[in-house]
Amino acid sequence: MRIIFTFCLFSVFSIYAQELPTSDSLRTIETQAISIIGLQTNFIGGSATRISPAQLEKLNQNDINKVLRSVPGVQIRDEEGFGLRPNIGMRGTPVNRSAKITLMEDGILIAPAPYADPSAYYFPTFARIASLEVLKGSSQIKHGPYTIGGALNLHSTKIPLQFSAFGQGSYGSYGMNQERFWVGETKGQLSYLFELNRVAASGFKQLDGGGNTGFDRRDFLGKIRWQSVSKAKVQQSLQLKILHTEEQSNETYLGLTYSDFIANPLRRYAGTQKDQLNLWHNHLILQHVLRPLKSLQISSSAYLTKTFRDWGRAYSFGTKSINTILSDPLTELQAYNIMTGKTDGDVIFRSAARTYFTRGVQTYANYEFKTSAVLNKLELGFRLHQDLASRYGTQSTYYMNSAIMLLTDGGEQGNQENQIRAGLSFASFLNYKLEWQKWGLSAGVRNERIILRMENFGNSDFSRSGSSKTTAQNNIFEWLPGASLDYRINAEQLLFVGAHKGFSPPGMPSANSANQARAEKAINYEIGYRYCTNRNQIQAVIFRSAYQNLLGSDNISGGGAGSGEQFNAGQANIQGFEFSLQKQIQLNEVSIPIQANYTYTQAVFSETFVNGGGDWGSGLINIGDQIPFITPHLLGMSAGAETKSCSAILSANYVSATRIKPSQGALVVPAPNQSYASVNCIPAYLLLDLSIQYQLTAAWKGCFSVQNLTNNLNAVANLPQGYRSTMPRAFILGFKLQL
């Protein structure tokens, strides 16, 4: 084992890479083009979707939630309206903080601590993302650790092949604005790219007493690359990537009671006036690509990241918890009046300072050879990864005085939470694919060796001397096989079927071994059809995940108490159907792109158990109860018109009624005569967006968009705490300069 670890440390290879180059040119081995899908998706033996730079540019969309709604099989829960911290699930995995999917940027894990503390409170600024990929099915065993739902890979701006510069500025409703600039060049063997991006808003929520409810996020990205000359016998390139992100958001977890939501869905209570998130993120990545033989490519990465976030939020009013107040504001009228600033009283405030560290090295080798009539592809990868989350939760006290919160006790740092969560993993995979005539067979296995460790220093050992420390450790060892078979009907059509064993790490260890959560596992199946030409694409997939052990969690962002613990929920079945269509119609000089996607998901518990709390509440959960927060029907459609100088796209997204509690039978939606506790679903809603782009000159483009065209302010969520709407109708005007 030590030999393998040493090999990984000094090889510094990457587990994710592009497909084998098709020529000997210098640019075919760029380190920046780290793709989990490859150059084409039409003959991948599994579900895959790529959204290209050209598609993203036409959408003019800074909210990843709205872009991902065009991908079948992806579940989204809106939260703050800007898409800063998206809640993403795939094929029925929980959506809360995107904790159950594999998140990557340029092929590198980007969740703050994907093994030890996976909730993605940091998410890359989507305004600077150039393209993205979504991979589901058995192919994703190469892209763990979360292999039940799927993987999302975001691509940063590429280094241009010649000197180029880009500038963008926009301004719109609610103070929304973006300023972006990048410059890059490839000259000889050296290349560079430097990018600055800022996106901000004053906010659309209306705080009692007034105040900013928006955010300000800024990014700096730098890339420097060296590459061998095109005539070199051994082709290689080496790239250094540096990213710094910082954000300040006047954001809250607290929504509204339903009666207040009906009166004004954009209202924010006076008790949230001090709620604020401060965040910064740094990462450093060294990537190397080596092609010693024409049929062999080795890709390499070493990475180091550090993330800090401190989200301070009101926790209780007049000794009453927020959930208690929301459940029955009439009974808890005094606490409700403190929350709304009508009555003076104590406010308990909690900040959650967390510092995350990750570091790792990865290796990936891709070898292709032909024997007789069979084309063979062999892929081998390793990753040694370490992450850590240092959590300091501090409780302080304010006094609500005439609707103004005054600090009365700042508290000691760590008096509410004081612990370290750490994870060490060694992941490896081997995958073999053969292609014979019209058949393709891919079989592989992934291995995860994980050590998770928790150190809890208690709420009085502020210096972490260890005087009252408790520890817990959990060792996980899993083999995860998978296979797929595909048949090429002709050059345009493909049938595929796949099965794989999916896996999710069990989260923080428990000091009480009886409460120790086991790793989440599921046997996953899919069968699909794909049709692909230059103008038309169709994909239809039936999927099923048979969970042997479903995991629940306890997070405030998901409606729980906030312990962060995971717990076993037994067996479950999630199955459904995905369909997507893309069609390009040409009418003289006008091109009409049409896109549609539909997802049906049925998610049910398949055994009866007593739930211990968290996101699904406490009490008995019965066999046949539907798993909450998984939307049964998702429908997205878009249509546009494009000429050489102008493009316009109208997008529509329909989200059906979604259960918010484990239940079956009749749906109970929010209503003035319904108690908060009896409501078990959020009603359906439809959102329309419009984007227009016009080529003013050879270098200048003008862009105009309308978000939420019909100003639909229906409730889109009741989480984390109370009802909330999406962003109301917003207009954005901008200009782009490309040199």
Read off φ and ψ for residue 570, nearest 5 degrees. Answer: 80, -155
DSSP secondary structure of 80-92: SSS-SS-EEEETT
Read off φ and ψ for residue 552, nearest 5 degrees. Answer: -105, 170
Closest CA to 444 of 140, 149, 152, 150: 140
Q: Count of residues for the chain? A: 739
Q: Let me know: does 48 contact 133? Beta carbons within 8 Å.
A: yes
- The tokens for 380 are 């081998």
Closest CA to 561 of 253, 334, 261: 253
Q: Let me know: does 252 contact 271? Beta carbons within 8 Å.
A: no
Strands 730-738 and 493-504: unpaired
Does the model's pTM come out above 0.85?
A: yes
CA 326, 328, 329, 332 dihedral sign is negative
Q: What is the pLDDT of residue 507?
A: 85
Q: Which residue ranges of the chain lie beneath pLDDT 70? A: 1-46, 513-514, 557-564
Strands 267-268 and 320-321: unpaired
Task: List the end-to-end C-alpha distance of the chain, in Å, as a whole number.
Answer: 52
Quick one: 155 exposed, middle or buried, by C-beta within 10 A (0-12, 13-18, 19+)? buried
């005439």: which residue's tokens?
Answer: 402
Read off φ and ψ for residue 370, nearest 5 degrees. Answer: -120, 135
Closest CA to 520 of 101, 139, 133, 151: 101
């098709």: which residue's tokens?
Answer: 22
Quick one: 689 exposed, middle or buried, by C-beta within 10 A (0-12, 13-18, 19+)? buried
The three-state secondary structure class of 683 is coil
Q: What is the pLDDT of residue 16?
A: 32
- The tokens for 611 are 């739930």
Element of type H or E holding 324: helix 322-327
Q: Let me know: does 568 contact 547? Beta carbons within 8 Å.
A: no
């007034």: which residue's tokens?
Answer: 210
Closest CA to 152 of 217, 199, 108, 197: 108
- In one-letter notation, the amino acid at residue 645 is S
The CATH number that applies at residue 233 is 2.40.170.20
> What is the C-alpha separation between 522 and 546, in angstroms, rounded?
5
Q: Which residues, other chains included, contact 323 with Cβ-Cβ below 8 Å and sequence gap of 6+?
A: 559, 721
Domain coverage including residue 422: 2-738
323-330 long-range contacts, CB within 8 A, separation 24+: 323/559, 323/721, 326/257, 326/676, 326/721, 326/722, 327/675, 327/676, 327/677, 328/675, 328/676, 328/677, 329/257, 329/259
Q: Let me know: does 423 contact 388? Beta carbons within 8 Å.
A: yes
Query: How many structural domains is the chain composed of?
Result: 1
Q: What is the pLDDT of residue 609?
A: 87
> What is the C-alpha separation between 187 and 229, in angstroms, rounded?
11
Q: Which residues, other chains included, contact 708 with Cβ-Cβ below 8 Å and sequence gap of 6+?
A: 687, 688, 689, 726, 727, 728, 729, 730
What stretches of 228-266 adopt beta strand conformation (E)?
235-249
- The tokens for 339 are 């929350």
- In one-letter notation, the amino acid at residue 32 is Q
Closest CA to 413 of 458, 457, 462, 356: 462
Counting runs of H as helices and runs of E as strands, what totals does the chain give?
6, 39
> What is the C-alpha separation between 739 and 737, in angstroms, rounded?
7
- In one-letter notation, the amino acid at residue 603 is A
> What is the C-alpha separation between 597 and 576, in angstroms, rounded?
14
- The tokens for 653 are 């997204």
**345 Rama class: left (phi>0) / alpha (psi -120 to 50) / beta:** left
- In one-letter notation, the amino acid at residue 382 is F
Closest CA to 700 of 174, 169, 218, 291: 169
């290209």: which residue's tokens?
Answer: 52
- The tokens for 642 are 């494009």
